Amino acid sequence: MSKKIILSMLAISVVTVLSAGDFNAQADKDRKALQQYFEKKFADRKSASTYFPYSTKEELDKSFNWGLKGDDFRLGTYAYNKSGKSQHDEMLEMPPFEDNIDAGKELYEKKFKNGKSFKDCFSKPTIAGDYPKFVKGKGVVTITSAINNCLKDNGEKPWKQTKGKITDLEAYFASASAEKGKKVNVIIDSKEAAQAYERGKKEYYTQRGYLQLSCATCHVQGAGQRVRNETLSPLFGHTTHFPVYRMKWQGLGTLERRLKGCEKNQGENPHKPGSKWQNEMIYFMSYMSNGMPVDGPDVRR
């Protein structure tokens, strides 16, 4: 083979690799811009007049943590809400989800009727940061849908996608991943995956429902502001801590459950958990937490 032909083949190979690695370029640009926005928003008390024009001086002085960076935001509202962080730390002294983690481990090891188990679908439990994934021919697969796909493939009935057994297993996956120091690692490696990401992003920033709110209205522009007694949480780091034990629920819930509730709050008929719309929304949201430590399950009000 001539030197010219070899060089041509190498050139084609380099172009192919660069193209494959470029599918996440826009998403990574979005993530970095979001991080810069939140770090600037919560940089110091001086930024308050720009981002919190309606907050009182007392509230800004006594209720906010400032100088936040990167991984700090995985705590959600508790990253910048002093009183909320104190309550959060107290709740974690006796986590209300410990029994769920134990139950999830039992489910992971329990045999199906055909003699197989979740171990045959997921060889190790430290997988929380690896989902959602884009699978050719299937679209976006969340960890919730992956669990149900495993059940169906083994002749078992799929579980409810918002609470119950599925949150126990997800709690075990999240806990095992957190213990191993796993980070969120959502991958966009094809044109189709990039398109799914873009659709999820578009919906996140689109105003919907009779209130004409977008997800970003509350969780980007509104993050840190109060709605009645609740302080709004940030998109940046939003997916790191699921499944979540909410005091309002008195139990664990999946990210799908939380999205359904948010849509209702927007005055919109919620999309079905596991739908293409919801899965692509989760794909976008999860990419915005890329590189952050998995720290679920966790507690929220």
- Number of domains composing the chain: 2
Q: Is it the case that residue 16 has pLDDT exceeding 60? A: no
40 and 175 part of one domain: no
Residues in the chain: 301
Give the end of a domain, one of 179, 214, 247.
Answer: 179
What is the rounded CA–CA span in Å between residue 204 and residue 60?
A: 28
Asked if the structure places residue 27 within a domain, the reply is no
Using the 3D structure, point to which of 149, 179, 209 is the last residue of a domain: 179
172 closest CA partner among 102, 240, 94: 102
Instruction: Kindly state whether residues 199 and 292 are assigned to the same domain.
Output: yes
Let me know if residue 11 belongs to a domain: no
Give the structural domain span for 120: 98-179
Q: Is 121 a catalytic residue?
A: no
pLDDT of 17 over the 60 cut: no
- Mean pLDDT in residue range 49-55: 88
Confidence of residue 21 (pLDDT cuts 50, 70, 90): low
Give the end of a domain, one of 179, 200, 231: 179
Query: Does residue 266 sit in the same domain as residue 209?
Result: yes
Q: Are residues 79 and 137 in the same domain?
A: no
End-to-end Cα separation, the chain, in angstroms: 67
Confidence of residue 209 (pLDDT cuts 50, 70, 90): confident
Q: Tell me: do 259 and 199 sit in the same domain.
A: yes
The answer to whether residue 153 sits within a structural domain is yes
271 inside domain: yes
> Is there a domain that residue 206 lies in?
yes
The answer to whether position 236 is within a domain reads yes
Asked whether residue 58 is domain-assigned, the answer is yes
* 88 plus 107 within the same structural domain: no
Domain at 226, CATH number = 1.10.760.10
**Co-location of 195 and 287 in the same domain:** yes
Summarize pLDDT for 141-178 with one digit per residue, the tens.
Answer: 999 999 999 999 999 999 999 999 999 999 999 999 99
The answer on 131 and 84 residing in a single domain is no
